[in-house]
Structures are given as structure tokens and as C-alpha cells.
Amino acid sequence: MRRGALTLATVLALLLPAGGAPATRITVYAAASLTAVFPRIDRAPRYSFAGSDQLATQIRQGAPADVFASASPKQAELLYREGLLRKPVVFATNKLVVIVPRTNPANVHSVHDLRRRGVKVIVAAPAVPIGAYTRKLRAKLGISGPVLQNVVDEEPDVKGIVAKIALGEGDAGFVYKTDVRPVRTKVLTIPLPAWAQPPVRYEAGIVRASAHRAAAAAFLRRVTSLRGRRLLAGAGFGLPKSPR
């Protein structure tokens, strides 16, 4: 009987590694504006969502990330040139909008209304992609000075702006259009002129220090697959003509 039990244990030991080995779980560092869509594309990874500049700094400091997805080419390309990231690919685009609380206490109906004295504007810090894009857009519109005087807060990522405007802690904020959907019952959207929009491109790449390169590459394939592109488009993102 003991011999039979040993034989069974031996058989199980041989079978379990082949059939029961857990799949590799990667860690994905991604821009805060991807919080809602990335887990829909792939639920398996561990995600860390924050400002792209913060995540890039953490990777430089040796954080255990396998994939980095940035809301701006700047952060991804810098890491690539520094030898910390494999060649990144463009996988999505976006546009900027202004949001105001649904009650709109400051009576803001145009981006030019943000120049009025007393309007409380919330933006992102300059190093954050949405912050850099906002400054480019304001410069194109010729309203940088007056709007800057009304800035009452600079957030470390776009989610902070969205939360504060939804709670009525500011009169207006610059965000990505994809960030409006989760709070559409709490805010109003003010579109911005197409000619003033800066090109907003998202790039993703495999962190060179990753010990799970194959799994990281598989994740990027899912993001750029037909299904991944459909989910990105469904979340309001624009798409490059072809992943590159």
C-alpha cells in the first residue's frame, strides 16, 4: 500500500509541472489615463498607474517593471536612448478637452473663459505629459499668461485633475477626452479647437532589465492586436494607422 502511494506521488510530481505551472505574471507601469482600458485588454499583469514621468523615474531607480507605457513619446524615448527600454511602439493617440463641474459655478463655456479673473483652473505639473501638452495648447491659443494666473493647483497626474473637478474643488481643468467617461455624470466637457491640439501619442516598450521578456512581448502583442485596438477605440482613444 505504501509502495502504491509512492507511485501515485511520483506520477503527480511528473504531471504537475507540465499542467499546473503558473503563468508568468508581469508588472506593467502605465500612464494614469490607461487605468480603465489596460485591465480590459489583459487582466493578468500587476499594474502600476501614475504620471509617466514618475514611472520613468522609478524605472531609472531600478523598479521591477517589465513594460512601460507612456502618455508621451518623450519619456519612453528617453528611456530607450538611456538603454533602459527596448524600442517602444506607438499604440494609441488622444486629445485634450476642458472639463468643468456639472453645476459650472464659474460659467465657463469656452477655453477663453479661463482667462477671467477668479476662475480656478487645475492643471498637471509641467513634467507630466498632460501638463506639457496643456502648456503647448495654451501657447497656440495665445492664452498662456492670463490662464496661468488662474492656476490654483498642479497635479502629479491626470486622475488628480479629474477627481478635483468632479468634486467641485476647481472651476476647470485640462484632461484627456478619454478621462471624461468615468465621471460624465459629474462634469461637463468643453471641446478645444482641433488646430490647437498638440499631437498626443502613447508609446510602450519592454524594460531591458525585465526577466520576463517573452511575457512582456506577449502583452504588447495583445495591446496592438485587433482586439486590443478595438478596446482602445471603445475607450475613446485614437489609433495609429498601424502599430509601429
What is the average per-residue pLDDT within 172-187? 95
pLDDT at 11 over 90: no
Residue 30 counted as domain residue: yes
Residues 214 and 172 in one domain: no
What domain range includes position 174? 96-196
Looking at the structure of the chain, the number of domains it has is 2
Residues 88 and 127 in one domain: no
CATH of the domain at 63: 3.40.190.10
Residue 239 counted as domain residue: no
Burial of 198 (0-12, 13-18, 19+ CB in 10 A): middle
Task: Render pLDDT for 76-121 as a digit per residue (tens, 0 to 9).
Answer: 999 999 999 999 999 999 999 999 999 999 999 999 999 999 999 9
What integer pLDDT is reported at residue 66 of this predicted model?
A: 98
Residues 36 and 115 in one domain: no
Task: Render pLDDT for 132-168 as a digit per residue (tens, 0 to 9).
Answer: 999 999 999 999 999 999 999 999 999 999 999 999 9
Return the C-alpha cell found at 31: 500612464
- Is residue 116 classed as helix, strand or coil in its secondary structure? coil
b/e burial code for range 127-166 (CB count within 10 A of at least 16 → b): bbbbbbbbbbbbeebebeeebeebbebebbbbbbbbebbb
Q: pTM score, two decimals? A: 0.87
**How far is the C-alpha of 218 from the C-alpha of 231, rounded, in Å?**
17
Residue 17 counted as domain residue: no
Task: Render pLDDT for 183-195 as a digit per residue (tens, 0 to 9).
Answer: 999 999 999 999 9
Residues 179 and 101 in one domain: yes
**Between 52-60 and 73-81, two packed helices, what is the crossing angle to 10 degrees?**
10
Residues 115 and 47 in one domain: no
Confidence of residue 242 (pLDDT cuts 50, 70, 90): low
Burial of 202 (0-12, 13-18, 19+ CB in 10 A): buried
Instruction: Please answer whether residues 68 and 79 qualify as being in contact, where contact means their C-beta atoms are separated by less than 8 angstroms.
Output: yes
